[in-house]
Structures are given as structure tokens and as C-alpha cells.
Amino acid sequence: MSNVKFLSGENIPLEMHKVRMVQRVNLIPVEERKERMEEAGNNTFLLKNRDVFMDMLTDSGVNAMSQNQYAAMMQADDSYAGSETFYRLESVLQEIFGMKYFLPAHQGRACEHIISRVLVKPGSTAIMNFHFTTTKAHITACGGDIEEIVIKEGYKIKSDAPFKGDIDIDKLKELINKLGRDKISFVRMEAGTNLIGGQPVSMKNMREVSEICRKADIPFVYDASLLSDNLYFIKIRDEDYKDVSIKDIILEIASLTDIIYFSARKLGSARGGGILVNDNSLFLKMRELVPLYEGFLTYGGMSVREMEALAVGLEETLDFDVISQTPLIVEAMCNEFVKKGIPVVTPPGGLGCHADAMEICSHIPKSQYRAGALAAAIYIAGGVRCMERGTLSEQRNADGSERFSEMELARLAVPRRVFTLSHVKYVADRMDWLNQNRQLIGGLEFIEEPKVLRFFFGRLRPVDDWQERLVKQFRKDFGDSL
């Protein structure tokens, strides 16, 4: 681990930055946390941030920016068309990815909308390592379907596999043979595969997938939202790349793909999104949709200040000390969990620490949303807001039956450069208590269930009075403490 810095003798990562602006946070008493959870329909998305102590819902749009990013915001050129800011961002992207065309969009899902509208025909299938919620929603909204072919290891909670996000190559070949080229909209690879625990994809796998796609003339789409974590893992876990520069790794990735898109709420630590493409006819088709849904071609729904911050943030992604920060904190957190016997996805990925609700809440029927219940319990136990990543995040099947997720995870996301190691220890401490009292956690049932992306604003209630019992036990064990 050449340039990763640790405190001598201990496995504690050293921050290669200092903090010069802070935000006050509150920890309200456990009784109030239970009430706020009830008001929020047991959905952590519906909590108010003022009631949250540690916001680990996501790393999206909440990463700490650098002083150079803030400084760049001040030079933004605010014009509807032809803004200098756009050309600056465009040239940074072209330089980093070596791709010809850039289309701006207001965030990652907007890119998914545009790509799906152009490539997904009704009845077609998009093949991918694993879906992301918004990706799947846009593909199905265009009448398409998805097939997930991540390698078997990807579904295992405990594993030593370094690249659990890889595509199963045999399955890819089989599917192409079975469906035929015309029924396949595209093959999609997600860097730092989100829903299976922020697990990376290997270069070898990318090369193989690319070769197959090129032979079969199928567009290869790369979701680079979590690219920075994936780059770190390529450098750390792949012997062949330990001396290859981050810039060269990105260029190689880009050379293997046809379309790259990203959420700039993650990649580049700003807010926005974009699509990169080499093929002129694809570019022209997608370009038509930008002014219609996003905004004029030189801002695409982004504020010019964010675009300036993004240009700098993307350049900073080439710095190993910047991109290593999150994976190192995630690893430290996972190690704390493992030490305390809390089941968690291993090896640690990027993005956050993923507690295994399938096991922690194995006493709860699957139909009562194990990961959703654990997420509600985590907030009550510690004021920590995490996100359900399991059955609740799935859409029901067309016949209304539940689509049970293979994994039930409570994702404790680690926004970049936001939390300290004492925060990490605090979360591990409350998770430990919860794990020891896991029998007290009960199930949830819907009281309001939206049809699409139900996890965003669906409302649920506990199936019995388990949350009261949890609070009682908390008071017994923690006394007056918050």
C-alpha cells in the first residue's frame, strides 16, 4: 500500500487534509428520536436533517469540498448560452476521459433518462453487473427490462473477492446468444457497484466485457458515479496497476466503453451530472433531449458555480490522497464492526459500511422489510440516519407481488471528508448495542406505498410496539445519556 498513510503501529488512516469550516449537529434524546421516526413514516428519507446527528443517508451531494473548489466557484461565468464555465468543464472532462463529446445534465438519473430514451426500445433488455434504483426505473419507464449478471461472489456478504462487482462473463455470452443483439439495448457496468455494498469492478473484467460488446456491436455503458472509489481499489487490489497513474487508468477505462455517465453529486464532489461519448450519431440523438429536459447545452440544469467546483473536483480525483480518504474510513468502520461481531459486507467497499440486516434481523419475516426495520432502529438507537438497501428499495413485480432482494443491507454512507474517526467509533458503539439487542427489533408494514421508487416517500409503521421496547431498553442500558 505504497502511499496510504497510517498512524504508526495502528491501522488508523491519516487524513491528508485539515478541516477549516464546520457545521453544528444535534443529538436529540432517544424518546424524541422514536417520535421523529414515527412522524417520518419509518422512512429515513422523510426525517428532517435538524433531527439527525450523523447523516449517513448518502454520499450524494454532501461531500466536503476543497478550498480550491470554493475558490473556483467565484469565477463562474453566468450566461445562458456559451458560458466560459462550460468550456472549462468540457475541456477538463475531455482531458481526463479522452472522449470527444460531453453533454451536461442536472444529475446522474437525468443522464440515465437520456441514455434510456435513446437506447431502450420496448421489450429490450439492458444487461448489467447490478442495477441502481434510478437506472432500473428509467429503463423500465422506457418499456425495457434488466438482467443482472454480477459474479456469484457479489451476492456473498462475507468474501475475500477483491472485485465483487465484476460481470459473470459466461452469463454475458449466454444472454447475448439467447436474446440476440437486437433485443439488447446496452450492456452497463457500474463502477463501485452501489447496491451490493460499493464493490469495485476489475480492469480485467472491463476488458473482457468490452471485447464481447465490440464483437457483438452492443453499446457498452459505464456508470462512473462511484469511479473514484473504484480507482482506489484498482490501485490497491490489482498488482498490475499499482504503478499505473490514476490518469492512465481512467483513460484505459474510457477507451473500453462507448458511453460514460456520472452523477457529479458523487464523482467530483459537487452537484450535477454528465454524459461522455465518442460516437457522433449517438451524441446527436442524446443532444436533442438535453435542452428539452435539462437546460441549454452549456449548462444542462447545473448552476455554473457547481460546474466550476466540479471541474476542480474532477482534477482532484487524480490525487491518490483525495480518493483514498473514503475507502480508508469505510475500512476502519468495517473493521470496528467485524471486531464487535456485527455482520457487515466484506471486503470493505467504497461508499459506506453495509450492515447485513438479513442476518441481524433474521427473526423478522422478509415481507416485513428487514433492512428498513434495521435502518429505523439505527436512527432510534443513535440519531444516525442510514439508508435501506434491500426489498424496500425494489419495485414490486408487474403482478403486484413483492420482489425480494437477495441482500438486505442498512447502508451507512460515508460522505467524503465529512466525518471523523470518533464518529466512526460512535456508530460502531451504537450498532454493537443494537446487534446485542437485535431481538427487540421488529418488522414494518406499509401505510402508504407509491408505485415507483417507493423507498423515497413511502410511509410505514412498526407491526407492533417494538420501538417502545427498544427505547425502554436503551434507557436501562444508557441511563441519562442521549
Q: Which residues are at the interface with ligand F0G (CB under 6 A)?
A: 58, 60, 107-109, 132, 134, 190, 194, 223, 225-226, 263, 265, 273
Q: Which cell goes with 367? A: 415481507
Nearest residue to ligand F0G, scored by beta-carbon proximity = 108
Torsion angle in degrees (nearest 10) through CA of 218, 201, 102, 144: 40
- Asked if the peptide bond before residue 347 counts as cis, ω within 30 degrees of 0, the response is yes
* Nearest CB to ligand F0G, comparing residues 225 and 346: 225
Closest contact distance (angstroms) between CB of 65 and ligand F0G is 16
Secondary structure class of 470 (helix, strand, coil): helix
Is the distance from CB of 203 to CB of 238 less than 8 angstroms? Answer: yes
In whole angstroms, the minimum distance from the beta carbon of 224 to ligand F0G comes to: 9
Question: What positions carry a catalytic annotation?
Answer: 80, 132-133, 223, 266, 389, 455
Nearest of 448, 467, 455, 476 to residue 410 by alpha carbon: 455
Phi and psi, residue 310, nearest 5°? -65, -45
Q: Which is nearer to ligand F0G, 56 or 471 (CB)?
A: 56
CB of 273 to ligand F0G, least distance (A): 6
- DSSP character for 386? -
Residue 296: all three cell numbers together: 441549454
Nearer to ligand F0G, 257 or 467 (CB): 257
For ligand F0G, the closer of residues 202 and 467 by Cβ is: 202
Closer by beta carbon to ligand F0G, 364 or else 386: 386
Give dist(CA 226, CA 191) in Å, integer. Answer: 5
Q: How many residues belong to the chain? A: 482
| CA-closest candidate to residue 303, choices 478, 74, 137, 34 | 74
User: Tell me, what DSSP letter sits at residue 196?
Assistant: G
To the nearest whole angstrom, how small is the minimum distance from the Cβ of residue 195 to ligand F0G?
8
Q: How far is the CB of 132 from ligand F0G (least distance, A)?
A: 4
The answer to whether the Cα torsion of 44, 49, 51, 55 is positive or negative is positive
Smallest separation (angstroms) from ligand F0G to the CB of 190: 5
| Element housing 189 (H / E) | strand 184-190
Distance in Å, CB of 441 to ligand F0G, minimum: 23
Q: Is the CB of residue 258 less than 8 Å from the CB of residue 279?
A: yes
Report DSSP state, residue 440: G
Measured from the CB atom, the residue of 256 and 413 that comes closer to ligand F0G is 413
Q: Which is nearer to ligand F0G, 268 or 462 (CB)?
A: 268
**Quick check: 111 and 275 in contact, CB under 8 A?**
yes
Note whether 199 and 193 are within 8 A (CB).
Answer: yes
Contact yes or no for 230/350 (Cβ under 8 A): yes
Min CB(58)–ligand F0G separation in Å: 3
Minimum CB distance to ligand F0G smaller for 30 or for 410 = 410
Distant-in-sequence, close-in-space partners of 46: CB < 8 Å, separation ≥ 6 = 39, 40, 457, 459
Sign of CA dihedral 189, 273, 219, 293: positive
Element (H, E) at 282: helix 280-293
